[in-house]
Structure 1
């Protein structure tokens, strides 16, 4: 072939191919502009490179020798193959380098060293690899008397995608959830509860294990990321303590989220006959209600339960697309997506109320039951450019309603910052089941409720990651005191907000010298608490260990 064709085949094309592979792998880091350029490069520029090298050959006598051309072509091919291998085998190291999320937990952070926050978290810059520690206080209140701590029944209701600022008892100007509000007046209500992810696939496992997503190990199963089987779930803990355990959830969730089903004796779906599926696909809350009533009736056919039961009920209806249900009075709600969303909340709340009424109509069962209501995450309506959920750790995606009604505990509204991973240790403390047997990062909600230790300095973390295929994004946040730091691990972009002065997170303070110390401290917390393999899920192996990470 001619020099043009030879150099097009053996020089230009391999180089362009390597650039394309590199840009595709790191498009989140390099940005969409560079990725688009890499796609156009082979088509537009490669012929020019081949022509230029061919022309140079005519003017450089040494290149006239065929052996020289073959050597150069071979070296280029070897270099491209070696570079491709290096890119693949060192992928995570490159991501960490590009992220520029500076580590370094030093004494200048002012963190007290009384309790290990994350035993596996280390300062990557410290030669002694010292564990990150911070004064947080005990994980349990230990304020319950022997009579107050017993094997209560537990009903844990999880409603999809509720923003705290769309609930009247938490400050909304519309009565979207009157039954929730009524129960809140009889319960411990938390005004500053934060989800550990804006994605159900991460939030559920986090709640069920009492651990932050970034500290867990994950594997790919049923086309979704799942916590590894060695993760100890809430159902496994209660089953070991002698409880019967049941989980009511949608067909989609049962099919794809297999990891959260560990430990449940019964997994009950909202499945109906095929000829009714279309009719009820946007009205699943009444089905969840009926399944829950059936379960409770079976486990407690008399005045009290035969043995204590642990039931988790999932109400999926608020999930998009939002339907403006004709049988819900939505005359006071706005038009458009937000009004439709509020209608979905009211629709789900109606059946939540009927479940509460059913239990209250059986006072001996109700008086022996802990009742929890929480949302797995919030919802976006363009506040920061996004819609729905599962892509951000901004306030609208993670600030959620949380209440827990515990027999014998006086109702109270609490403003201490809490996390959804706190539900599990609360249930452990109230029921007196074993506290060991699994990693816990949550703290009992009885600590702010019954003690003077409100843990106002406690950091609360969020993680959200692309759920399928290649790693397209990995975003995290930490909230401590009145500051929130959000970090895009792929691009390295950071945004810092003062939640007291800027509750909607509109003004980025990351470049402010005045807040440099806060930025450094929160950045270090984020860096040091990535102890799991969440951001490696493209290359999960058996047991959840990343093939590219230690």
Structure 2
């Protein structure tokens, strides 16, 4: 049956749908995400899956190592995985798997230590299409705009105006995977990782998809005039009306719909290559997004469920079923031991270092009672904002703190390094709008103690210090709102 595998060493596909939050996508919606829903129908959907960190770099290192940011050390104070912990990529390679990866997100690159263990890896900067690459039309127009003397956001806005909407890589990613599958001359199983950055800010879906979701009276061209730089929003350089918020949310939904189609194309590619029946396919997001919720645009400064709750669907092997929906609490980091169990790989070094729990239906651990998330330090730091903008509001200074959260099915406790703390009753207040820490001191103290016990259960890394990156990487990070 399609989706099952009778091999002891199945292929593993880890498909990361960057910035796809659970609000719209859990459970998988046949209207918005028909391909994800189809995957869930013959697989297992985990409706209570949470990331370990609200942004790409630490979240992906957690995926690969089964550890949390305070242990693996890749976070805003040290934007590189130093490779001191073993990864599942290494484990699959050591077990004889062919390992391949492709990323549309600049954080998932050799510069940041994320490509170790891969036999083949294609980075974001290697994309080439009609608008990018040396000598291309987009390259020439970009150079012309730069030479005009414009800089910063003015430069970026004019560049986008000239070059038009561009695919941030999902379609090209699937094409690369198709070529890679056709070019394989091996019967050994493979571990394939792919990150597609849509629907990350800025939301610029292909016009045909946007028109399906835009409210009446809004053309695609008009929607594209809305400013979307999250750092400009943070410092108050612009705000949205209620109607404009609905437009931004529509653009985000269109990005999701577009990425879902690429998910379907990737499945088709595996089927055409004759690999689908021997593949365990994981569709997951690295983190979520705020689109007006809690006063934020993007995924900085908070640990609300809007940035922590993510979709997770697994199809194949022991996860094949008939529309199975699990409410088991899982962390994205739990995929590390789970996928090792899928392939029957011991990998004692990975397992010993891991802080995660396998949720394999047969070989897994007992269900966890709570999940943990960490936001080690804001990015960009306040000095960057001060150098970029004439005015930085006081609340941005208040956000210059680390955050940790512990979440059960009923409550979430969040604590800041500045001594602030919040408690939310998730059953009565799923939107996390009402802090009840003062009125519920016993629950607050209990979860605070739980967090302290967890922090005391392992040695935390002291990795700090700046990481040198290329000018091209800095430009790309600025495009994404990280600088």
* Both structures adopt the same fold (TM-score exceeding 0.5): yes
Equivalent residues in 2 for 1:244-323, closer than 5 Å: 244-250=98-104, 252-254=106-108, 258-270=112-124, 271-272=127-128, 273-274=133-134, 275=136, 278=163, 281-299=166-184, 305-323=186-204
TM-score by length of 2: 0.72
Equivalent residues in 2 for 1:467-482, closer than 5 Å: 467=379, 472-482=400-410
CA RMSD of aligned residues (A): 2.9
Give CA deviations for 1:504-547 in whole Å, capped at 9, x if unaligned.
1111121123534434433424643573236x62489xxxxxxx
Deviation, 1:329, is: 6.1
- Work out whether 1:235 is the aligned partner of 2:89: yes
Q: Is the 8 A contact 1:477 1:485 kept in 2?
A: yes
- Work out whether 1:355 is the aligned partner of 2:266: yes
- Work out whether 1:501 is the aligned partner of 2:428: yes
Q: Is the 8 A contact 1:469 1:538 kept in 2?
A: no
**What's the secondary structure of 2:406's corresponding residue?**
strand
**What's the secondary structure of 1:429's corresponding residue?**
helix
Equivalent residues in 2 for 1:446-465, closer than 5 Å: 446=360, 449-450=361-362, 455=367, 457-465=369-377
Unmatched 5+ stretches in structure 2: 139-162, 216-245, 384-399, 468-483
282, 307, 331: which one pairs with 2:212?
A: 331
Equivalent residues in 2 for 1:420-435, closer than 5 Å: 420-435=332-347
Distance 1:427 1:527, change over 3 A: closer
| CA distance in structure 1 between the aligned counterparts of 2:13 and 2:69, rounded to whole angstroms | 24
Deviation, 1:225, is: 1.3
TM-score by length of 1: 0.64
| CA distance in structure 2 between the aligned counterparts of 1:488 and 1:210, rounded to whole angstroms | 24
Distance 1:255 1:324, change over 3 A: closer
- Work out whether 1:189 is the aligned partner of 2:99: no
- Aligned partner of 1:159 in structure 2 is 17
- Aligned partner of 2:452 in structure 1 is 524
Q: Is the 8 A contact 2:329 2:368 kept in 1?
A: yes
**What's the secondary structure of 1:492's corresponding residue?**
coil
Distance 1:197 1:366, change over 3 A: same
- Aligned partner of 1:66 in structure 2 is none
Give CA deviations for 1:9-48 in whole Å, capped at 9, x if unaligned.
xxxxxxxxxxxxxxxxxxxxxxxxxxxxxxxxxxxxxxxx
321, 327, 335: which one pairs with 1:415?
A: 327
- Aligned partner of 2:56 in structure 1 is 200
Q: Relative to structure 2, which stretch is displaced further, 413-422 or 150-159?
A: 150-159
Deviation, 1:372, is: 0.8
Distance 1:231 1:355, change over 3 A: same
Unmatched 5+ stretches in structure 1: 1-146, 541-550
Distance 1:217 1:149, change over 3 A: farther
Q: Is the 8 A contact 1:247 1:264 kept in 2?
A: yes
Deviation, 1:167, is: 1.4
Give CA deviations for 1:340-388 in whole Å, capped at 9, x if unaligned.
00001111111111111222234x4111111111111000123222211
| CA distance in structure 2 between the aligned counterparts of 1:285 and 1:499, rounded to whole angstroms | 34
- Aligned partner of 1:98 in structure 2 is none
Q: Relative to structure 2, which stretch is displaced further, 409-418 or 450-459?
A: 450-459
Equivalent residues in 2 for 1:81-100, closer than 5 Å: none
Deviation, 1:162, is: 0.7
| CA distance in structure 2 between the aligned counterparts of 1:451 and 1:408, rounded to whole angstroms | 10
Q: Is the 8 A contact 1:425 1:443 kept in 2?
A: yes
**What's the secondary structure of 2:293's corresponding residue?**
coil
372, 378, 383: which one pairs with 2:293?
A: 383
Distance 1:225 1:283, change over 3 A: closer
Q: More relative contact order in 1 or in 2 (CA 8 Å, sep 6+)?
A: 2
Deviation, 1:393, is: 1.2
